[in-house]
Amino acid sequence: MTLFVQQFFNGLSLGGVYCLAAIGLTLVFGVLRIPNLAHGALYMVGAYLTYFFLTSAGVPYILAIALAALVLAGIGIGMERVVFHPLRNAPHTHHMIAAAGAMFFLHSLIQAIWGADFRRMESPITGRVEILGTQVSWQRVTIVITAVVVLIALTWFIKRTVHGQSIEAVEQDRVGASLVGINPNRVSMLTFGLAAALVAVAAGLVAPINLLYPTMGDVIMVKVFAIIILGGLGSIPGAIVGGFTLGMAEVMATTYVSAVAGEVIAFVVLILVLAIRPTGLLTKAVQR
């Protein structure tokens, strides 16, 4: 039982990280209809930025994550301007190649700056707390709480603010949105900025229980794609449900079946979803 409770919290925290990373990807897909392959690279840059603010600039942890999110949002917007905006009328093939180019570039750039070394980011949040009879580390509790807070803030932003609503409008109906005078350029930039900020938060949260290295984004990239396929490309609730589902499924499969099961479960889920309902579980039937 204690094993289960402990793993439940591990699943929650992993799910929270997946969620934050997946929402950005699904947002970009919803608004621009492109699978941004450089998303994993942005995650990696976000982790390094948090590391920089925390260790080199000496900023407190939560503030360091916020700063990293801000800077990465800038980078995300820059990427939209330089790479994706010129390709807005090109076939989606070109976006994917350009995104791969951006990914290679970011890998190399970070390796040039920080080297290929693994880095460990010590979180100031240490110690453990007793929940339901098991020890859960504060870092994991922080991850879960932060993820929930960010998700609530995001929902508020999208449902209650003008900018957020414009994103949702474009997602649901491109033509209609432009007819009512929503500037697609601004929405694109906003979406990229938001996606980058969210993935930076995910990276900043997970960095202390993991290691930093230039290709760290590749691992999460596959998972995040699995999540948004599971939840439906472009669907935010889908990304949230998918994120927690996969996080929990991975942890439980590893604990109660085997380590290999934990690693392949994302793919098993993928096959099933693709075979049964290729547009994802939570999307409306017709989506073009």
Partner 1 sequence: MSQKSRSTLRPLIALSTVSLLALTSCGNGGGDGEGGTITIGVTGPQSGGGALYGENVEAGIRLAIDELNEQGVTIDGEEYTVEMRALDDEYQPNAAATNAQRLVEQDDASVVFIPHAGGIHAAQEINTSRSDFLIGAYSSDRRIIERDNELTFMISPPFVSYSEPFIRIFQEEQGAERLGLLATASEYGQQWTTMITQDWEDAGGEVLSNNNFDYGAVSDFASSVARTLSDDPDVILVGGPSQTTALVIEEARDQGYEGGFMIMDQAKFEELELFTDPENLNNSAGVKPVAEFDDPGTDSLVERFAEDITEERPITAETSLNFQAVALVVKAMEIAGTHEDPAAIREAMPEAAAEVDDVFRVSGFPDEVTDEGLLISDSLEGAYRDSEGNYEYFPMDIE
Partner 2 sequence: MKLTFSIRGVGALLVAAALLFAPLILAEQNYLLRVLITGITYAIAVYGLNIILGFTGQLSLAHGGFFGIGVYTMGLLTTDYDWSFWGALLAAIVLTTVVGFLAGLLALRTREAYFAVFTMALGLIIYMIISRWEDVTHAYSGVLGVKLPENIGPLDFSEPATYYYLLLVFLAAAAYVTYTLRVSNVGRRLLAIRTSEDLASSIGINVGLNKQLAFTASAGFAGLGGALFASAEGFIGPNSSSIDLTFELLMFLLVGGVATVMGPIVGTLLVLALFEAFQDFQAYRFILLGPVIIALVIYAPQGLIGRLNELTLRWKRRRAAAPKTPAGPPDSDSPADPNDEKAEVR
| Rounded-to-integer distance, Cα 197 and Cα 42, Å | 9
* 282 belongs to the binding site for partner 2 (CB under 8 A): no
Q: Is 264 exposed, middle or buried (0-12, 13-18, 19+ CB in 10 A)?
A: middle
Here's the x/- map for partner 1, 58-97, by CB under 8 A: it reads as ----------------------------------------
DSSP state, residue 86:
G
Contacting partner 1 (CB under 8 A), which of 115, 124, 176, 237? 115
Among 275, 284, 285, 286, binds partner 2 (CB under 8 A): 275
Q: 17 contacts which partner out of partner 2, partner 1, none, CB within 5 to 8 A by kind? A: partner 1
The verdict on 35 binding partner 2 (CB under 8 A) reads yes
Q: Which residue has the tokens 């930076």?
A: 200
- Token readout for 122 is 């010590």
Chosen residue from 5, 7, 78, 282 binding partner 1 by CB under 8 A: 7
Site for partner 2 in 202-231 (CB under 8 A): 222, 225-226, 229
**Binding flags for partner 1, 208-227, as an x/- string (CB under 8 A):** -xxx-xxx--xxx--x----
Name the amino acid, one letter, at 203.
A
> Letter for the amino acid at 216?
M
Cβ–Cβ under 8 Å, residues 49 and 230: no
Query: What does 206 interact with, of partner 2, partner 1, none (CB < 5 to 8 A by kind)?
Result: partner 1
285 is a site residue for partner 2 (CB under 8 A): no
CA–CA dist 203, 195 (Å, integer) = 12
Touching partner 2, residues 109-168 (CB under 8 A): 109, 111-112, 116
| Contact (CB, 8 A) for 239 and 23 | yes
| DSSP letter assigned to residue 233 | T
Is residue 110 within 8 A of residue 75, CB to CB? The reply is no
CA distance 190 to 186: 6
**What sections of the chain are H helices per DSSP?**
2-32, 39-51, 61-79, 92-114, 138-160, 162-172, 174-179, 184-206, 216-231, 236-256, 259-276
Q: Is residue 62 part of the contact set for partner 2 (CB under 8 A)?
A: no
User: Residue numbers of the site for partner 1 (CB under 8 A)?
Assistant: 3, 6-7, 10-11, 13-14, 17-18, 107-108, 111, 115-118, 120, 128, 137, 206, 209-211, 213-215, 218-220, 223, 250-252, 254-256, 258-260, 262-263
User: Residue numbers of the site for partner 2 (CB under 8 A)?
Assistant: 29, 33-35, 82-83, 86-87, 89-94, 96-98, 100-109, 111-112, 116, 222, 225-226, 229, 233, 260, 264, 267, 270-271, 274-275, 278-279
